[in-house]
Amino acid sequence: MVAQLLDGKKIAAKILAKVQQAIVSLPQKPRLAIVRCGDDPASVLYTAMKQKKAEEIGIQAELYVFSGTIDQQKVIEKIQCLNATVDGIMVQLPLPAHLSERQICDAIDIDKDVDGLTQQSLAQVMNNQELHAPATPKAVIRLLDEYHLPLAGKQVVIVGRSALIGKPLAIMALHRDATVSICHSKTPDLAKHTRHADVLISAVGKPHFITSDMIQENAIVIDVGISKQDNQTKGDIHPDVIQKAAFLAPVPGGVGPMTIAMLLEAVAEAKIYKMNPREKIKSEKEE
C-alpha cells in the first residue's frame, strides 16, 4: 500500500481563491506588514514568498526590513506604529540572538496578530479560542479537516515542543478530543512513542529523521520539519514512510503552503471583521 498524499498545495490554492473572492469587493485592500530583521537566507526566502502570494490574491503586503544589529526598541516602536495603520502584522522568526522574540512579538496588538505570535493569542489557544492561533499548527489542523480526518479518539504523537508549533498544536489536538503525547530531544526511546501514533506529527528540522520502522502501519503522518541538505529541501519524514502510512503530508507541498494560506486568510478576516464584526470567511465545514 502507498500512502495517500495530503496535498497542501492544492488545498491552500482553494483557500486562497476563496480569500481572494472575499476581499475583491472591499473598498480598500487588506494590509499586511511583514517585519524582518537581518538577512538570514531562509527568512529572506519565506518573507518574499509570503509577500508574493499576498499580492497575488489582492492583499497589500509591506515588507519592513531592519539590519541584523538593530536596536530592539526601534523594532518595537515600528510595530507600535503599524498597529495603528495595517490590518495584520507578522514578524519573521527566528530573530537575531540579541533580540527578544517574546518582547518584539508581544508588541503586536492582538487583533493584528495574524500569525498568532503573541502571548495573548497563545493564551486564547489554551482557552479553545483559535481566532489567531499560530499559523503552522492551524495549517496542520486545517489540512486534516479538509481531508475529513478527525482527531477525536486518536492517539496523536507530536515530535517537537516549540512554543509556536509543538505546544499549541498539542493543545489544539487535545481540544479535538485526541489523546496527545509530546516528544522532544530528551525523550528516551522516541520510537516507542511514535510507533503508537495513529497520527504522527514531526516538527524537528532534521532531514529524514523519522524512518518507517518508527511508525505504525496505516498511520496518518504529517511532516512539518523543513531543512536544507545537499541544496535540497527535506522534511523530517523519510521517503520510505510512504509505503507504510495511510496518509502523508509531505515536504514540500504539505504543511508549508497551508501555513501561508492560514496567514493570509487571517489578514483578510482581520480586515473584514474590522468592517463587520459578525463576518468571517467560511470554511468548507461551516458551509
Tell me: does residue 161 bind ligand NAP (CB under 6 A): yes
Give the active site residue among 115, 198, 223, 236.
115
Q: Name the residue nearer to ligand NAP (CB basis): 190 or 246.
A: 190
Considering only residues 216-235, where is the footprint of ligand NAP by CB under 6 A?
224-227
Q: Name the residue nearer to ligand NAP (CB basis): 15 or 272.
A: 15
- Cβ 158 vs Cβ 201: under 8 Å: yes
Kindly report the CA angle at 51 between 172 and 256, in degrees rounded to 5? 40
230 is catalytic: no
115 is catalytic: yes
> Distance of CA 177 to CAs 86, 129, 131, 149, Å?
36, 15, 19, 13
Q: Which stretch binds ligand NAP (CB under 6 A): 61-69, 72-80, 251-259, 271-279?
A: 251-259
**Applying CB under 6 A, which of residues 12, 33, 122, 159 lies at the interface with ligand NAP?**
159
Residue 94 to residue 280: CA distance in whole angstroms: 30
4 is catalytic: no
Tell me: does residue 165 bind ligand NAP (CB under 6 A): yes
Give the active site residue among 18, 92, 112, 216.
92
Residue 49 to residue 54: CA distance in whole angstroms: 8
Tell me: does residue 259 bind ligand NAP (CB under 6 A): yes
DSSP per residue over 102-142, as a string? HHHHTTS-GGG-TT--SHHHHHHHHTT--TT--HHHHHHHH
**Residue 25 DSSP label:** T
Q: Which residues bind ligand NAP (CB under 6 A)?
A: 136, 159-162, 165-166, 183-187, 190, 203-205, 224-227, 255-256, 259
